[in-house]
Amino acid sequence: MKILVTGTTGQVGWELVRALAPLGEIVRCDRSMADLADPVRLRQLVLDVRPKVVVNAAAYTAVDKAEQEEVLATVINGEAPGVLAAATKEAGGLFIHYSTDYVFDGVTGHYNEKAPTRPVNAYGRSKVAGEHAVAATGGDWLTFRTAWVYAQRAENFFLTMLRLAGRHKTLKVVDDQFGTPTSARLIAALTGHVIPRALAEINAGTFNSGLFHMTASGETSRFDFVEAIVREARSMFPDGVIKVSELCPVSSDAFPTAAARPKNSILDNRSFDERFGLRRPHWHEDLRDTMESLFQAWSVCYGGLLSLPRI
């Protein structure tokens, strides 16, 4: 079975290559092979490969930059997923796509899949467009909204805070944004369990396409997430690596950004749990697993150095 994965140099895509390998032949597509900014070429790519499954992990994720590049963000996040989904349908395959908690305004939190989308920034609007484009194809598809994605590689909030904690004694962290940190590894692992079940349903004629929320369990604030990052790092890395001794809670106003962020984007995952019956670990357990993996990489590559790994 061929599984085509886009965005394989990104956080989720890189983890997907590892998690999906036991299921079949992985066709890795980085930007040079599948440039979502050029959707016209995507259809032919899928028809040439004719995969059983297409997993779209490529996306425009520069939230602040999207305020000035909304057209480009919408092409990548909005138009291209629809092209990929339509081509996958033409090839007779299953299409899997990822969306975001940023499709909501963050006023109430605990959003389920039926809650109206009211994005407060260009990035969120582009992701809503992608959800609609995928659903409009009418093929076999699954869209998973996730949140606060991080990994032990690439650029993300987790690594940024960890590196700052290794350089400064005091850090200011916003305490009025709430969500659920979810590692790229967990997203890939859950996807790896969903695919065989979905294919079995397709073969049995019982499959229903749909959109589901898929995050770690639990909820937290940005501030408490950073507290946990520092605590876990301090318990694993040698003395002297983590320098921060004080975390100062501040409001989002202390860090003005080009794009507004939803204040409370906690997602309700009950539909996912009922449909797939998979265990979603608590975000703290998920964090500990990611930190342990990062520490192992540090031990191998940077074992004698009192500095955090540059991954």
Looking at the 3D structure of the chain, how many domains does it have? 1
Q: For residues 34 and 40, is the Cβ–Cβ distance under 8 A?
A: no
Cα gap 184→224, rounded to integer Å: 20
Q: For 172-181, what is the mean pLDDT?
A: 97
Most distant CA pair in the chain, distance: 59
Residue 81 dihedral angles phi and psi, to the nearest 5°:
-60, -35
Is a pLDDT exceeding 70 seen at residue 308?
no
pLDDT band, residue 301 (cuts 50/70/90): low
Is a pLDDT exceeding 60 seen at residue 90?
yes
CATH number for 60:
3.40.50.720
- Percent of the chain past pLDDT 90, that is, above it, reads 91
Q: For 191-206, what is the mean pLDDT?
A: 98
If DSSP codes are grouped into helix, strand and coil, which group holds residue 188?
A: helix
| Residue at 76 is within a domain | yes
| Residue at 165 is within a domain | no
Active-site annotation holds for 302? no
- What's the whole-number average pLDDT of the chain? 95
* The two structure tokens encoding residue 24: 């079949």
* pLDDT tens sequence across 93-128: 999 999 999 999 999 999 999 999 999 999 999 999
Is a pLDDT exceeding 90 seen at residue 311?
no
Is a pLDDT exceeding 80 seen at residue 305?
no
Q: Which ranges in the chain belong to alpha helices (H)?
A: 11-20, 42-49, 70-74, 80-91, 122-136, 157-165, 184-204, 222-236, 270-276, 283-302
Q: Which residue of the set 60, 102, 111, 123 is catalytic? A: 123
| Residue at 241 is within a domain | no
Residue 173 dihedral angles phi and psi, to the nearest 5°:
-135, 135
| Residue at 259 is within a domain | no
Q: What range defines the domain where residue 211 resides?
A: 2-156+181-217+265-282
Q: For residues 131 and 104, is the Cβ–Cβ distance under 8 A?
A: no
| Residue at 63 is within a domain | yes
- Pick the closest to residue 272 from 203, 204, 162, 182 (CA basis): 182
Cα gap 138→259, rounded to integer Å: 33
